[in-house]
């Protein structure tokens, strides 16, 4: 895809994701293709199936501008088995930026360090 085609993609996550996974962080041996079985597995998989069984402390992190934020918020609401749960929204971060922009990665690391320091003893 050229820059014009990338700019025409329907969401920021697709635009940033294409650049991240296909240009700046692409593995040299990747074919960038799904197998039919892996795509079917992905379509059938539900991250929230039985999420209510989590009875341990839970930390969920998402960018406040992430196209996928609603899925994290939905999962957080369904995680009813623990009362010790936190949803940290990284201000102004999109989905892709949460793991590649230093100012957002630092916030993620601060949250994880505090969480693990408190609960992994």
- Residues 40 and 58 placed together within one structural domain of the fold: no
- Residues 33 and 63 placed together within one structural domain of the fold: no
For residue 97, the surrounding DSSP H or E stretch is none
Do 111 and 59 form a contact (C-beta atoms < 8 A)?
Answer: yes
Instruction: State the residue range of the domain holding 4.
Output: 1-45
- Residues 28 and 53 placed together within one structural domain of the fold: no
- Residues 78 and 89 placed together within one structural domain of the fold: yes
- Residues 68 and 26 placed together within one structural domain of the fold: no
Strands 58-63, 85-90: pairing is parallel
- Residues 73 and 118 placed together within one structural domain of the fold: yes
pTM: 0.85
Q: Which of 24, 27, 19, 20 is nearest to 3 (CA)?
A: 19
Alpha-carbon gap, residue 67 to 84, rounded angstroms: 26
Q: How distant, in Å, are the alpha carbons of 16, 42, 86, 119, 121 from that of 51?
A: 29, 17, 15, 19, 24
Per the structure, the count of domains in the chain is 2
- Residues 36 and 59 placed together within one structural domain of the fold: no
Per-residue pLDDT of the chain (121 residues; tens, 9 = 90+): 898 998 999 888 889 988 988 888 888 898 877 777 788 888 888 999 999 999 999 999 999 999 999 999 999 999 999 999 999 999 999 999 998 999 999 999 999 999 999 999 8
- Residues 60 and 107 placed together within one structural domain of the fold: yes
- Residues 64 and 5 placed together within one structural domain of the fold: no
């Amino acid at each position: 895809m050229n820059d014009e085609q990338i700019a025409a993609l329907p969401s920021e996550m697709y635009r940033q994701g294409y650049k991240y996974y296909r240009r700046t962080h692409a593995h040299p041996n990747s074919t960038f293709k799904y197998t039919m079985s892996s795509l079917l597995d992905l379509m059938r998989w539900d991250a929230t199936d039985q999420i209510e069984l989590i009875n341990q402390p839970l930390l969920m992190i998402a960018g406040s501008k992430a196209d996928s934020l609603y899925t994290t918020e939905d999962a957080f609401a369904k995680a009813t088995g623990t009362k010790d749960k936190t949803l940290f929204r990284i201000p102004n971060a999109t989905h892709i930026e949460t793991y590649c922009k230093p100012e957002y990665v630092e916030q993620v690391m601060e949250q994880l360090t505090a969480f693990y320091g408190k609960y992994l003893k």
